[in-house]
Amino acid sequence: MAGNDIKLQNISNFFKDPIKESDGSLLGYKVSEEDAGKLNDLLIKLNERKKNLKEAQRLANIGHWELDLVHHSLYWSDEVYRIFGLEPQEFGATYESFLKHIHPDDHDLVNNAYMNSVADKSSYRIVHRVLTKQNELKYVEERCIHKLDDNGNVVRSIGTVHDITKTVIYEKELELASNVFKYSTDAIVITDAENKIVSVNNAYEK
């Protein structure tokens, strides 16, 4: 590798010369000074990209998660914790714990969407509500795909959680304003900057 042009290759490539005990148990790996330098550069690069990913997720209000169905473990990115209003130590990191943080009225909706997608081995997209421990209501868009083993069984689920609360609130306010305009008993006319009529409500037409 020359200069700063460090390719993100598989780290296992650096560990090809194992050091073993007389009984065959693994003690470690022998790494050349040159490879040690390359590995250090690679780890620095990976850490920087991890930081950039976290920042990008924070800016976009999108987090990601992975559910390992073989080992029954759940991973959340930092942004998912922020969206759910939790600290890592407050979360049990299981699918059951995740469901506890879904709005009660959306619990079955979310669970059925996931279970059906696993059964069908298909992706899904769903919008549901989250109720944080601070009683803050949020709307999230969740997407998920599945990874299969050689036998076609789902072994891992990978998904994203997008906080769309502001968008939903804006759309609801827009819908409310539209209904007020449409059904108001007062005659209302909307014009553009040149005083050309853009829209009128029913009362105006009458």
pLDDT tens for each residue of 177-186: 777 777 778 8
Pick the residue with more confidence: 184 or 10? 184
Residue (of 95, 99, 97, 98) closest to 108 by Cα position? 99
Say whether pLDDT at 1 is over 60.
no
Pick the residue with more confidence: 1 or 122? 122
Residues in the chain: 206
> Which 3-state string (H, E, C) describes 110-144?
HHHHHHHHHHHCCCEEEEEEEECCCCCEEEEEEEE
Question: Partners of 102 in the beta sheet?
Answer: 130
Q: How many helices and strands, by DSSP H and E, does the chain display?
A: 6, 9
pLDDT tens track for 62-116? 899 999 999 888 899 888 998 998 888 788 778 888 898 899 999 999 999 999 9
Q: What was the pLDDT predicted at 3?
A: 39
DSSP, res 104? G
**24 three-class SS:** coil
User: How far apart, in Å, are the Cα atoms of 191 and each of 125, 174, 181, 201, 205?
Assistant: 39, 18, 14, 12, 15
